[in-house]
Amino acid sequence: MNAFIAIVLASLLSRLGYQMARSPVLPIFAADLGALPELIGVIVAASTITGVFFKLPSGALSDVLGRKRMMVLGAVFFAAPPFLYPLIHDPWSLLALRFVHGFATAIFSPVASAYVAGLSETGRGARLGWFSSANDVGATAGPLVGGFVLYFTASYSVTFFSSARSACSPCLWCCCYPKPIGLRARLRLSARERRNSGRVSPRC
């Protein structure tokens, strides 16, 4: 499996698991914990608020620490928080956990997009299109799968654990991604190839 297919599948599964824990399970879970309707709205939106403030720093930090390290960190935030939802017993703890869970998309999404764009200079737009479509497929299927799991099991724990299982595989795949060639390295490689081609004398 090449790096592009791997990251597309990882993004799809991570988004699937993320949305399974968000809708429609999360509002029902928050209501059962005694959250008022206005607090339920804040709880659902909390992870997005995290993304608003941390996507830009995450993308900039990946330029310093590397895409692979940041994607692994983002995948950990996808996989770990769903295991903690069954341990929550009040709405305010749930709100805090939602803020933490929001680091998943805040870190993984911009860094993974940059990783896809850096795989090659040719076909970049098409690859980003496939990557975005995979995200949308996961985001669309997640609520459907989460709702069915909750309906047939009548268990929040099973639903959240299913969400965590979906996000654990991308966490492992991120560790196996090859490091993309940076822009400076590509420029040096291109300059070296031009110099080498200039040195080759044509045969008579």
State the SS3 of 123-140: CHHHHHHHHHHHHHHHHH
**What is the pLDDT averaged over residues 58-83?**
90
pLDDT of residue 189: 46
Please report the pLDDT score of residue 204 as a whole number.
Answer: 39
Q: Which two tokens stand for residue 141?
A: 């299927």
Share above pLDDT 90 across residues of the chain, in percent, rounded to a whole number: 58
Instruction: Please count the other Cβ atoms lying within 10 Å of the Cβ belonging to residue 52.
Output: 11
Q: Helix, strand, coil shares of the chain as percentages rounded to 5?
A: 80, 0, 20
- Check residue 50 and give its pLDDT: 93
Mean pLDDT of 24-36: 95
CB-side neighbour CA atoms (13 Å) of 139: 8
* pLDDT for the residue numbered 165: 87
| Domain 3-199 CATH class label | mainly alpha
Tell me what the pLDDT averaged over the chain comes to.
Answer: 85
pLDDT band at 69 (very low <50, low <70, confident <90, very high): confident
What pLDDT sits at residue 6? Answer: 84
Q: Do you find a cis peptide bond into 143, omega within 30 degrees of 0?
A: no
pLDDT of residue 201: 46
Q: Of the candidates 27, 72, 70, 20, which has an alpha carbon nearest to the alpha carbon of residue 46? A: 27
For residues 201 and 168, which has the higher predicted lDDT (pLDDT)? 168
pLDDT of residue 200: 46
| pLDDT confidence tier of residue 48, bands split at 50, 70 and 90 | very high
- Please say if the pLDDT value at position 77 is more than 50: yes
pLDDT of residue 183: 47
158 within 8 A of 149, measured Cβ to Cβ: yes
Is the pLDDT at 88 greater than 70, yes or no? yes
Give residue 18's pLDDT: 93
Q: Residue 25 in contact with residue 146, Cβ under 8 Å?
A: yes
Q: What is the DSSP letter of 34?
A: T
Residue-range domain boundaries for the chain = 3-199
Q: What is the pTM of this model?
A: 0.81
Give the residue from 47, 10, 19, 14 showing the smallest Cα distance to 149: 19
Q: Percentage of the chain surpassing pLDDT 70?
A: 83
- pLDDT number for residue 174: 64
- As to burial, measured by CB atoms within 10 angstroms (0-12 exposed, 13-18 middle, 19+ buried), residue 126 is exposed
